[in-house]
A = this chain, B = another copy of it.
Amino acid sequence: MKIKCIVSYDGTLFAGYQVQPKLRTVQGELEGALKKLHKGHEVKVAASGRTDAGVHAVGQVIHFETPLNIPADRWGVALNSLLPADITVIDVAAASDDFHARFDAVGKEYRYTVLRSAQRNPFVRNYAYYYPYSLDLALIEAAKTHLMGTHDFTSFCSAKSEVEDRVRELRSIEVHEDGDKLIFSFIGNGFLYNMVRILTGTLLSVGAGEIAPDEIPEILKKKNRIYAGKTAPAHGLYLWEVFYN
């Protein structure tokens, strides 16, 4: 049978989601736990997408095939007992045989957390990007409208990406303050490599007055990574939710 899980992880101590030889990865830990449950047999895990080193997930979605006849509500307990404390399986459900965590995803939400306190905070050093400089939120709101919708996001994609089709639909960008944090939420049908981090870095540059909101259409048109803002650091980024029909 096919099992779908929602998985939460603190990305701090991982070399990213995807398995890499000799490195500690989320996929590696998940497949290690499944291998133990399957008495040494390898079980391959498919995720909605990768996350980079240091990037967190609140609602990553994975699936795997298993011959074991464990009820859905027992899988979470079984897996969590074998997983390290920085990964938790939050929810488990039986999935249809043709379900695929990556190919069936119709959208994703990412969130990016910026800490704005006067002093840096030791407790969130791995969970928010510390940016105490002044920001004009009205400029960020104005820039958002130019980014939402369907665009070729090549300028907002790592130059290392080998993906050819860089057209994506950015359905919503929300920015809200939560105490001394500023939280950016991005919902779209799909995201390119480093796209959320470059969008956030660009919106911060807009808020700081370094890029004008009406330069955004020009930056999109250039289709060249060098025209957008900096790539905000990995540790402020959360894969928040993956959407399916």
Q: In this assembly, does A127 line the interface, its C-beta being within 8 Å of a C-beta of chain B?
A: yes
B80 and A122 contact, CB distance less than 8 A = no
Q: In this assembly, does A87 line the interface, its C-beta being within 8 Å of a C-beta of chain B?
A: yes
Closest B residue by C-beta to A127: B123
Closest B residue by C-beta to A123: B10
Copies in the complex: 2
Task: Pick from B76, B85, B122, B125: contact of A122, CB below 8 A.
Answer: B85
A123 and B90 contact, CB distance less than 8 A = no
In the complex, which residues 99-157 of chain A have their Cβ closer than 8 Å to any Cβ of chain B? Answer: 119-123, 125, 127
B85 and A120 contact, CB distance less than 8 A = yes
With a cutoff of 8 Å between Cβ atoms, the chain B residues found around residue A119 in the complex are: 8, 76, 80, 88-90
Closest B residue by C-beta to A86: B122
Chain A contact residues: helix, strand, loop or mixed: mixed
Q: In this assembly, does A4 line the interface, its C-beta being within 8 Å of a C-beta of chain B?
A: no
Task: Pick from B80, B120, B125: contact of A120, CB below 8 A.
Answer: B80
Given known pairs A80-B120, A120-B80, the reply for A125 and B90 (CB within 8 Å) is no
With a cutoff of 8 Å between Cβ atoms, the chain B residues found around residue A193 in the complex are: none
Query: Nearest-CB distance from A51 to chain B (Å)?
Result: 13
With a cutoff of 8 Å between Cβ atoms, the chain B residues found around residue A87 in the complex are: 122
Q: In this assembly, does A166 line the interface, its C-beta being within 8 Å of a C-beta of chain B?
A: no
In the complex, which residues 73-88 of chain A have their Cβ closer than 8 Å to any Cβ of chain B? Answer: 76, 80, 85-88
Q: In this assembly, does A56 line the interface, its C-beta being within 8 Å of a C-beta of chain B?
A: yes
B80 and A123 contact, CB distance less than 8 A = no
Task: Pick from B8, B89, B122, B123: contact of A121, CB below 8 A.
Answer: B8
Digit string of A44-86 for contact with B (CB within 8 Å is 1, else 0)?
0000000000001000000000000000000010001000011
Known: A80-B119, A80-B120, A86-B125. 17 other contacts (CB 8 A): A8-B121, A8-B123, A9-B122, A10-B122, A56-B123, A76-B119, A85-B120, A85-B122, A86-B122, A87-B122, A88-B119, A88-B120, A88-B121, A88-B122, A89-B119, A90-B119, A123-B127
What are 6 A-B contacts with C-beta separation under 8 Å? Answer: A8-B122, A10-B122, A10-B125, A80-B119, A80-B120, A88-B121
Chain A residues near B (Cβ < 8 Å): 8-10, 56, 76, 80, 85-90, 119-123, 125, 127
Q: What 8 pairs across the A-B complex have the smallest Cβ distances?
A: A10-B122, A85-B125, A86-B122, A88-B122, A88-B120, A10-B123, A9-B122, A90-B119
